[in-house]
Amino acid sequence: MHNKKVLLIYTGGTIGMITDQSSGALRPFNFSQITQQVPELLKFKCAIDSIAFEKPIDSSNMNPETWVSLVKMIEQNYEEYDGFVVLHGTDTMAYTASAVSFMIKNLSKPIVFTGSQLPIGIIRTDGKENLITAIEIASAYKNHVPLVPEVALYFEYKLFRANRTTKLSAHHFNAFESFNYPILAEAGIDIDYRFNVINPLPKDKKVEFQYQFETGISVLKLFPGISQDTVTHHLAQPNIKAIILETYGSGNATTEKWFLEAIEKAIQQGIIIINITQCKSGKVDQTKYETGKGLHKLGVVGGSDLTIESAITKLMLILGNTSDKSKVIEQFERNWVGEKG
Ligand code: ASP
């Protein structure tokens, strides 16, 4: 008798590909035959079912519509399964996983994203270990309570909080990092769960799914020498509701008059400006330097230690639900599921 049930959802990406014998090219394999590729799955104590996107996609083609399709699959199966493993291309996995963490309120079951750098059919693949351990984590319960009741990302022996991750390497097996939050678990001979940093079960048991996104946002990465033209054109784009400024260090930007005036004008026109640092670790503090204070005084919203992936997906989801500027800012600044310090 299997005691736990896990649903495997294949969206696309390298992990689900095999080499076509005739052409030598990589192509997605029929996911319903996953146990032929990974016979180890038959040895699990939990029951594993799998479903796949009708047309598996490279994760570069993910967008809010595909996030919605994915979360609908989870919602439709939420009661029936104890945990979910999402197989996803690594390129935008941090975005999708962050978005999913914000789309589901009061999540009380594990959702573990994973993928691989080498296809599962290749002899040196990292896909088998990633898949097998992700299933183990998604089915891990003690006294009917899941060990990881949150959206997580498992890669190369480490379990991360999904909305804290960034893809770091296009080459190494350890492709992901979470710079501003400790790992949730590490897999060795045993899986060592760090319960002090894992989200507890939500008090409110009623799970809720949110599906409305507003994509009218943009990211402006500052660099020394950025021209006035570039900045003013960027801020003047039509139908833009919010702009994320990627600033330096602890949230600093040039104090040139034309720059601050352009930001001020955009804010007066109702555009929300968010400050996220280009640094991978550390956080925005707009009161630390003169170069940050200018932005703070104009009403730029400090993004704390959010990753750019979290900032983008959280902002799109909030704007999909309200256009009231003060509500957007209030919701953005609130910590939803441990995405910020
Ligand atoms: N381009 C692939 C994707 O993100 C790479 C991968 O799966 O790792 O879908």
> Residues 217-261: pLDDT tens digits?
999 999 999 999 999 999 999 999 999 999 999 999 999 999 999
Determine the distance separating the centroid of ligand 1 and the alpha carbon of 125, expressed in angstroms: 14
Q: How far is the CA of 92 from the centre of ligand 1 (A)?
A: 8
The architecture that CATH gives domain 5-209 is 3-Layer(aba) Sandwich (3.40)
Q: What pLDDT is stored for residue 2 in this prediction?
A: 58
How many angstroms separate the CA atoms of 7 and 37, rounded?
Answer: 17
Which residues are marked as active site?
14
What residue ranges do the domains of the chain occupy?
5-209, 217-333
Q: Which atom of ligand 1 is nearest to the CA of 91?
A: 4
Closest CA to 172 of 152, 188, 158, 156: 156
Closest CA to 3 of 47, 43, 44: 47
Q: Whose CA is nearest to atom 6 of ligand 1?
A: 89
- pLDDT value, residue 292: 86
Whether residue 91 has its Cβ less than 6 Å from ligand 1: yes
**Looking only at Cα atoms, what is the longest distance across the chain?**
70
Whether 5-209 shares its CATH topology with 217-333 is answered yes
Q: What angle do CA 96, 79, 47 make, to 5 degrees?
A: 85
pLDDT value at position 137?
A: 98
Show the low-confidence residues of the chain (pLDDT under 70): 1-2
Task: Name the residue of 10, 11, 14 to mutate for ligand 1: max ligand atoms within 8 A of Cβ.
Answer: 14
Q: Is 2 exposed, middle or buried (0-12, 13-18, 19+ CB in 10 A)?
A: exposed
What CATH number labels 217-333? 3.40.50.40
CA of 124 to the centre of ligand 1 (A): 17
pLDDT value at residue 17: 86
pLDDT of amino acid 289: 86
Give the DSSP letter of residue 234.
H
